Amino acid sequence: MTETRTMTLNMGPQHPSTHGVLRLVLELDGEVVVRCVPHIGYLHTGMEKTMEDKRYQQALTVTDRMDYLAPMSNNLAFVLSVEKLLGIEATERARIIRVMMAELTRIKSHLVWLGTHALDIGAMSVFLYCFREREKILDLYEMVSGQRMMSSYIRVGGLMADLPDGFERRVRDFIDEFPKRVDEYEDLLTHNRLRQQRTVGIGVLKREEAIALGVSGPTLRAAGVPWDIRKVWPYSGYDRFRFDISLAHNGDVYDRYRCRIFEMRQSTGIVRQCLDRLPKGPVNIDNPKIVPPPKPMVRRSMEALIHHFLLYSQGFAVPAGEAYVPIESPKGEIGFYVVSDGSNKPYRVRVRPPSLLNLQALPRMVEGRLVADVVAVIGSIDIVLGEIDR
Amino acid sequence: MVVKLRERFPDAIREVRHVRDELTVVVAPAAIREVCRFLRDDPELRYEFLSDLCSVDRLRLPEASPRFEVVYHLTSMRNSSRLRLKVRVEAGEPVESVTGVWEAANWMEREVYDLMGIPFRDHPDLRRLVMPDDFEGHPLRKDFPVTTEPRWWEEEGRR
């Protein structure tokens, strides 16, 4: 008489393919995954709680550290919620710069995804190429904000500073070159037979399952749902840009790859449109109670000095109420539910974490499949544990 | 939409507010699951996507009773509309789980249970999500001490 016994395998938290510190407990029958139970929380640092104790300008810096591959998207989502509570809207120039930075962020985040995903399933060189291009976006980040990763560039009421000299030319150089680079990645990967064997038909998530599980972003669009918040509820002026949303129908790892490649190309187009129509003008709203006055003014005007002092010692008060503005981050729908009690610190901040909900769908995608596919699937949903655990 | 809800659940709708283009409906705790199921399945409304589920501790707000609020952000992809539902409960009072309506609620309810200490009735797997299993207290509560040294926990097997 034969007896079926399953083996329990612990994968992570320190495992190169778990993209951070994710721990999976896999129950295996031979090489087939019978059950997959994710354990998270290794990076929990209480960010939502931390933000309750920070003034609004300070809380913004916490958002950089959630999804550290897409800091500007997080900045933008938080700032839009706070601006909604304050009843203000950024200037035209600031809005277009925000869109441009958000799209560069999308390219940057997708590049890390593409590189690490290719690496996970054995394509080392693509990783190096992707990080070469990402480096250029990090340089652009450094130009505008002085920081390569934790930029905090998008601020309530506008931006930290206007674009530096020569920035537009650098961006143009990048987007002229970048489509050729995407062609290169595609040459290496799209019709690669080995890669297709590892990705086509693997980790399938059906349309209905994806919606019920709250999956968003490219993972949702790969399952055949044409849902992109930039199109549905345009924020920051997205309704005036021409771009297409990605869509695929099989919901497997390969389709997620195709969606993200498509999005990188579209984002390049949006950045180009931003550069073409970038108007002159101020980047901050004219409200010294919210936006600090320029430094030279502080030295000359008593009034500016007072505003400067008040903003940096007390911050600004936000009217009591609540707001939730979702945006389309590289990972999916991210939104900050900000509850204000009328003081200068948020009463409660809740992040709608796209990575958390995408990860929740993982057992559905890997159960019944081979253990080697788990690695390919984790890579395909593009999770960042900093955002999942917060 | 609100008219439809009021017709269907005359006793369960406590409050309706429309502020800054955001519609909020406060629902009685006992009825939340049925309201959610109705909103998901109604052929005209089709709120089939649960965007978010979170909680607020109202301890330091002017209106602090009942103390906790569970907040649901619903999305209707068909109508491109959003809706916020709220349920208000006292400490320890359970809320009907909506995992049967949207699977997405599973981890988010666990997170609320973990960090805010609100239990959910009929949840299939109500464990802590991000804090260690032997952790005491609920860090997102407003009366959770933030200045004391956090208690260290031992690794499993060395207890």
**DSSP line for A273-335:** HHHHT---S-SS-S-TTTSPPPHHHHHH-HHHHHHHHHHHHT-----SEEEEEEEE-SSSEEE
The pLDDT confidence band at residue A2, using thresholds 50, 70 and 90, is low
Q: DSSP characters for A139-185? A: HHHHHHHS-SS----EETTEESSPPPTTHHHHHHHHHHHHHHHHHHH
pLDDT beyond 80 at A14: no
The residues that bridge with A326 in the sheet, in sequence order, are: A335
Tell me the C-alpha distance between B159 and B155, whole Å.
7
B73, B104, B130 ranked by CB distance to A41: nearest? B130
CA B51 → CA A79, A238, A244, B29, B91, distances in Å? 19, 21, 23, 20, 25
Partner residue opposite A323 with nearest CB, options B20, B77, B144? B20
Query: How buried is A16 (Cβ within 10 angstroms: 0-12 exposed, 13-18 middle, 19+ buried)?
Result: exposed
Select the residue of B49, B61, B103 nearest A341 (Cβ to Cβ): B61
For residue B62, is the peptide bond before it cis, meaning its omega torsion is within 30 degrees of 0?
no
- Terminal-residue alpha carbon distance, chain A: 50
State whether A335 and B146 contact (CB < 8 Å): no
State how far the Cα of B50 lies from the Cα of B83, in Å rounded to an integer: 10
For residue A54, the distance in angstroms to the closest alpha carbon of chain B comes to: 13
Residue A268: pLDDT over 70: yes
Rounded Cα distance, B39 and B44, in Å = 9
Interface contact flag, A214 B129, Cβ < 8 Å: no
Q: What is the mean pLDDT of chain A?
A: 88
Interface test with B, best of A339, A340, A367 (most B CBs within 10 A): A339
pLDDT at A18 over 80: no
Pick the residue from chain B with its C-alpha nearest to A42: B130
Q: Is the pLDDT of residue B158 over 60?
A: no
Q: Which residues pair with B95 in a beta bridge?
A: B120
Helix axes A253-276, A371-380, angle to 10 degrees: 20
* CATH number belonging to domain B2-121: 3.30.460.80
Within 8 A of B73 by CB-CB distance, chain A residues are 324, 335, 337, 352
Laid out side by side, the sheet with A32-39 consists of A7-11, A23-29, A32-39
Are B132 and A339 an interchain contact pair (Cβ–Cβ within 8 Å)? no
Closest CB from B52, B108, B132 relative to A335: B52
Residues B42-99: tens digit of each pLDDT: 888 888 899 999 999 988 888 878 889 999 999 998 888 899 999 999 888 888 899 8
**pLDDT at residue B148 in the model:** 64
**Which residues of chain A make contact with B71, given a CB cutoff of 8 A?**
337, 350
Q: How does pLDDT run across A295-322, given as a tens digit for each residue?
A: 888 889 999 999 999 988 888 889 988 9
Segments making up each domain of chain A, as ranges:
56-286+319-350
A48 at interface of B, judged by CB pairs closer than 8 A: yes
Q: Do A211 and B129 touch (CB under 8 A)?
A: no
Is B106 close to A321, i.e. CB distance below 8 A? no
Cβ-contact B57, B116 below 8 angstroms: yes
Average pLDDT over residues A31-59: 88
Note the pLDDT of residue A99.
93
Q: Judge whether B106 is closer than 8 Å to chain A, CB to CB.
A: yes
Residue in chain A lying closest to B73 (CA): A324
pLDDT band per the 50, 70, 90 thresholds, residue A262: very high
Q: Token pair of B112, please?
A: 């609320």
* Interface-testing mutation among A36, A350, A383, A388, with chain B (most B C-beta atoms within 10 A): A350
Residues of chain B neighbouring A224 (CB-CB closer than 8 A): none
Give A262's contacts (C-beta < 8 A, 6+ positions apart): A244, A246
**Is A179's pLDDT higher than 70?**
yes
The CA–CA distances, whole Å, from B40 to A123, A195, A360, B26 equal 43, 39, 20, 17
CATH homologous superfamily of A56-286+319-350 equals: Cytochrome-c3 Hydrogenase, chain B (1.10.645.10)
Instruction: Name the H helices within chain A.
Output: 47-52, 56-64, 71-86, 92-120, 124-145, 167-189, 193-199, 207-212, 218-222, 229-232, 253-276, 295-300, 302-313, 354-360, 362-366, 371-380, 385-389
Beta-strand pair B120-121/B95-96: parallel
The two beta strands, A333-340 and A348-352, are antiparallel
Count of positions (residues) in chain A: 390
Nearest beta carbon to residue A46 from set B24, B103, B139: B139
Q: What is the mean pLDDT of residues A141-151?
A: 89
Tell me: the pLDDT tens digits for A186-215? 888 888 888 888 888 888 888 888 999 989
Max Cα–Cα distance, chain B, nearest Å: 59
Q: What is the pLDDT of residue B157?
A: 52
**Taking CB atoms and an 8 Å cutoff, what residues of chain A touch B106?**
360
- Asked if residues A330 and A109 have their Cβ atoms less than 8 Å apart, the reply is yes
Contacts of A367 in chain B (CB under 8 A): none
Closest residue of chain B to A354, computed from CA coordinates: B51
The nearest CA of chain A is from the CA of B103 a distance in Å of: 5
Contact between chains at B20 and A350 (C-beta distance less than 8 A): no
| Percent of chain A scoring above 70 in pLDDT | 98
- For the question of an ipTM over 0.90, the answer is no
Q: What is the pLDDT of residue B159?
A: 44
Contact between B51 and A214 using a beta-carbon 8 Å cutoff: yes
**Inter-axis angle of helices A92-120 and A124-145, nearest 10:** 160
What is the band of B153 on the pLDDT scale with cuts at 50, 70, 90? low
Instruction: Dig out the tokens for A270 from the structure.
Output: 């949006």
- Report the candidate in A138, A239, A264 with the shortest Cα–Cα distance to residue A189: A264
**Structure tokens, A130:** 């992707």
The closest CB to that of B51, out of A323, A326, A360, belongs to A326
- Tell me which residue in A53, A347, A357 faces B61 most closely, judged by beta carbons: A347
Q: Check residue A1 and give its pLDDT.
A: 57
Yes or no, beta carbons of A49 and B56 under 8 Å apart: no
Question: Residue A49: which of B60, B61, B140 has the nearest Cβ?
Answer: B140
CB A131 within 8 A of CB A255: no
What integer pLDDT is reported at residue A83 of this predicted model? Answer: 92
> Cα angle at B107 between B81 and A11, to 5 degrees?
130
Query: Of chain B residues 49-78, which have a CB less than 8 A from chain A?
Result: 49-52, 54, 56-57, 60-62, 71, 73, 77
User: Do residues A250 and A222 make contact, with C-beta atoms less than 8 angstroms apart?
Assistant: yes
Average pLDDT, chain B: 85
